[in-house]
Amino acid sequence: MNSELVKAINEALHAAPKMQSQPPWRLVIHTSAGGALAAGFDQTTEDLIVVSENGQAIFDGTNVNRSYRNRENSAYDQTRLEAERLDQKGHNPIRMAGEHGGGLPLTTSDGWSIDIFQIHWPTAFSVLHHPGASIYFLAPKWKDYAKDASFRVLMKSEGLPVAFGFSWSGNSLVWLDRSDLFIWHRDT
C-alpha cells in the first residue's frame, strides 16, 4: 500500500466508532471465551464450535444460546484443523480456524466482506464492508470514480483475533480472541 492510502485508512479507522449492532447485522452473543484456541462453523447450520483449553462449547449463531458445553474434551485436532462435535455423534468434522492455522470465509455470496488492519502494531482494527464498498476506495486514484469507501469497525483490539470470519451461509460473523467471543447475525 502506498503511504497516502495507509495514512487515509489509519485516520479513517481511528475516527470511526465501533459497531455493536447496525442493520442488517445485530450482535447476538458477547461472552467470555477463556483460553480460546479455535472456532469453526458447522456447514449445515449457524452453529459455531469454539474449542479452548477448557474444552468445547457450541453456540447457536442466530441467538444468544450456548447449546452445549463439555469441560473435559475439546475433540480438536490441531494438525488437521478439525473438531468433532461432541453433542452429535457421527457428525462430519468441523473445519477450524485459530492459533494453529485454518481460516473462515472472508466474503459472503452477496458481497459482504471483512478485513483486518494492523497499521501500528499491536493495535488491530477488524472491519466490515457492505456489498460494493471498501475502505481501499479511500485511495486518491478512486476519487473521480464515485466509489463507496464506507466501512464499519467491528473491533479495535491489541493484537489479532484467534478467529474472524463468516459462517458458510454468510449470515453469521464471528470475532474471537483468547478471552472474548462476539457473534453477529443477520436475518435474510
**Could you read off the pLDDT of 84-131 as tens digits, one per residue?**
999 988 889 999 999 999 999 999 999 999 999 999 999 999 999 999
For the stretch 142-177, pLDDT in tens is: 888 989 999 999 999 999 999 999 999 999 999 999
Domain count, the chain: 1
Q: Tens digits of per-residue pLDDT, 4-14?
A: 889 999 999 99
Range of the structural domain that residue 23 is part of: 3-186
**pLDDT tens track for 31-86:** 999 899 999 999 999 999 999 999 999 998 888 778 899 999 999 999 999 999 99
Please tell me the pTM assigned to this model: 0.94
Closest CA to 41 of 176, 155, 177, 159: 176
The mean of the pLDDT values for the chain is 93
146 vs 74: CA distance, rounded Å? 49
* Strand ranges across the sheet with 36-41: 66-70, 55-60, 47-52, 36-41, 97-98
Tell me, what's the pLDDT at 89? 86
